[in-house]
Amino acid sequence: MTHDRPRAPGTLPDWQAWNDRHLGLAVARSRLALAAHLAPSGRDAEAVRSDLARLASEQAATEAELRAAGQVPALVALSERLGLSRLETDVVALCLAAEIDADVAGMLSRPGRPGPHVTGGLAVALAGGAAPSAMLALSSSGVLAGLRIVEIAPDLPLAAAPLRLSPRVRDFLLGLDRLDEQATGLLLPLEAPALPRALERVAHAAAGAEATVLLGAPECGGRAVAAAA
């Protein structure tokens, strides 16, 4: 597959192929940034910046190709739907790279490193978060941790805490949209539009969960229950 493959007017591109290309470019950016960070003396800084800019431009071109067909890459969809910042999106891309790219996993597993995991400090640094406040992107009240997009090891300083992309987010980015075992435990069937009783059930079900999914036929009043809740 090549990024400049011609597309006949009025035809839709193969979303999976173009999504793979978009993710491949994101992973390549993460791989290059990580290699330059781990061995700064062995790489020309200006050449690295030029290569990163080129990869970002190719990513944007791939996104534009999909948008022209009324589609978006999964990483863009995730970022837009959840309101992720550029830094948060880059952290997600780096965590994905650690999951699916052998070279990135190998670099993270070198002697002197804690293992094949991205740490909070490394992720924020590679995402361009030079200011101390950039670490707030990984706080428990932030989007990444709060929505369980990224799993952050507890009881460790943020800079040293291993990060792991949630399996359901990883699968979504790769093209599989599904509910995982954690999410299916939050499903709450609705059988009738009895609003007060349904609200009681929602309150009970949500007491120990961060999210509850309401399932039922349109006449069950799920929208009304969600709005009232």
> pLDDT tens digits, residue range 3-29?
334 344 344 468 999 999 999 999 999
pLDDT at 89: 96
The DSSP H or E segment spanning 27 is: helix 15-38
Average pLDDT across the chain, whole number: 81
- Mean pLDDT, residues 52-79: 94
Query: Model confidence at 104, in pLDDT bands (50, 70, 90)?
Result: very high
pLDDT at 88: 95
pLDDT at 144: 93
Nearest to 95 by CA among 148, 141, 47: 148
Query: Model confidence at 180, in pLDDT bands (50, 70, 90)?
Result: low
Pick left, alpha or beta for residue 129 (phi over 0 → left; psi -120 to 50 → alpha; otherwise beta).
Answer: beta
- Mean pLDDT, residues 54-71: 94
- Mean pLDDT, residues 202-219: 64
Alpha-carbon Rg for the chain in angstroms = 21
pLDDT at 90: 95
* Sequence-ordered list of residues with C-beta below 8 angstroms from that of 153, at least 6 positions apart, any chain: 161, 162, 163
* Sequence-ordered list of residues with C-beta below 8 angstroms from that of 26, at least 6 positions apart, any chain: 59, 75, 93, 96, 97
Beta strands in the chain (DSSP E): 118-119, 150-152, 162-165, 187-189, 213-215
Please indicate whether residue 117 or residue 207 has the higher confidence score (pLDDT): 117
Query: Model confidence at 217, in pLDDT bands (50, 70, 90)?
Result: low
pLDDT at 51: 95
For 164, which DSSP code? E
